[in-house]
């Protein structure tokens, strides 16, 4: 049976399973268990790869053979993926690569246990300037969003357009009535200063919702 590194060299990265890819980062197993077997145990324990990637050091170090160094290695690899996706959005039009937007947002905060509200500021030619967290909720409290702050930050950073996004820790990707009303309010407020709201995206562990894809945005984004 080929080891993960040998298989990678011979067949390419797409031929590796999640466990084999993870094993490359873990490097060594534990007594009586290979690196791949240890990786399979981790995936089984957390349920899936995204849940493993977003685990806390306390959660990972409860498992035999897992220390803070292994948690750091996994987090470093995960952060590289997120930064790569964000850089892609800064170089290409956000509408020429909609898959990147979805992947970036889900990687960025789709599985957080608390609610956060992010703003993607778009510059000329629809390139991403920055992605900033503006508001944060708590485990037991829903998020409070202030349109005035969104408008102020957009003007201060000379944004040409905005995409706003927040997560639903409950797992339900569909917008609430409050989400719909917020979108309408933001869209009207931003248009008063000639900054179109291109989309409002909702991210959850189980899915992704785009107001634009659902034809719920009334702005002309071209």
Q: What would the pLDDT profile of 175-197 be if each residue is shown by its tens digit? A: 999 899 999 999 999 999 999 99
Please tell me whether residue 134 adopts helix, strand or coil conformation: strand
Which tokens in the block code for residue 185? 């309010």
* Distance between CA atoms of residues 104 and 8, nearest Å: 25
Q: Which two tokens stand for residue 44?
A: 């089984």
> Which CATH number is 94-210 given?
3.40.140.10
Q: Is the pLDDT of residue 141 over 60?
A: no
Q: What is the CA radius of gyration of the chain?
A: 20
pLDDT of residue 75: 84
Which residues are CB-neighbours of 121 under 8 A, at least 6 positions away? 128, 129, 130, 131, 132, 153, 154, 157, 159, 162
Distance (Å, rounded) from C-alpha 25 to C-alpha 79?
14
pLDDT at 49 over 50: yes
Whether pTM exceeds 0.75: no
First to last CA, the chain: 53
pLDDT of residue 211: 93
What residue spans define the domains of the chain? 4-79, 94-210
Sheet-wide strand order for 197-204:
127-136, 116-123, 161-167, 197-204, 207-210
Ranked by mean pLDDT, which of 34-43, 76-85, 123-132 comes out on top? 34-43
**pLDDT tier at 222, thresholds 50, 70, 90:** very low
Confidence grade of residue 220 (pLDDT, cut at 50, 70, 90): very low
| Arithmetic mean of pLDDT, 139-166 | 83
User: In which band, very low, low, confident or very high, does the pLDDT at 92 lie, cut at 50, 70 and 90?
Assistant: low
Class of domain 4-79: mainly alpha
Q: How much is the mean pLDDT over the chain?
A: 82
Size (the chain), residues: 222
DSSP state of 132: E
């Amino acid at each position: 049976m080929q080891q993960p590194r040998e298989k990678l060299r011979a067949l390419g990265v797409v031929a590796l399973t999640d466990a084999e890819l993870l094993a490359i980062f873990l490097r060594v197993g534990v007594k009586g268990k290979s690196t791949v077997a240890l990786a399979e145990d981790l995936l089984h324990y957390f349920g899936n790869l995204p849940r493993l990637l977003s685990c806390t050091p306390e959660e990972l170090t409860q498992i035999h053979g897992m220390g803070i160094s292994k948690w750091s290695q996994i987090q470093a690899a995960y952060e590289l993926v997120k930064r790569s996706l964000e850089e892609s959005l800064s170089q290409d039009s956000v509408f020429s690569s909609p898959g990147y937007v979805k992947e970036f947002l889900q990687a960025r905060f789709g599985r957080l246990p608390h609610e956060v509200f992010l703003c993607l500021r778009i510059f000329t030619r629809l390139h991403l300037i920055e992605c900033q967290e503006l508001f944060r909720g708590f485990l037991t409290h829903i998020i409070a969003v202030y349109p005035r702050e969104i408008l102020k930050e957009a003007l201060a950073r000379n944004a040409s357009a905005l995409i706003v996004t927040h997560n639903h820790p409950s797992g339900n990707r569909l917008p609430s009535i409050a989400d719909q009303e917020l979108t309408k309010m933001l869209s009207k407020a931003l248009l008063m200063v000639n900054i179109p709201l291109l989309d409002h995206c909702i991210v959850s562990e189980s899915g992704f919702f785009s107001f634009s894809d659902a034809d719920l945005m009334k702005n002309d984004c071209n």
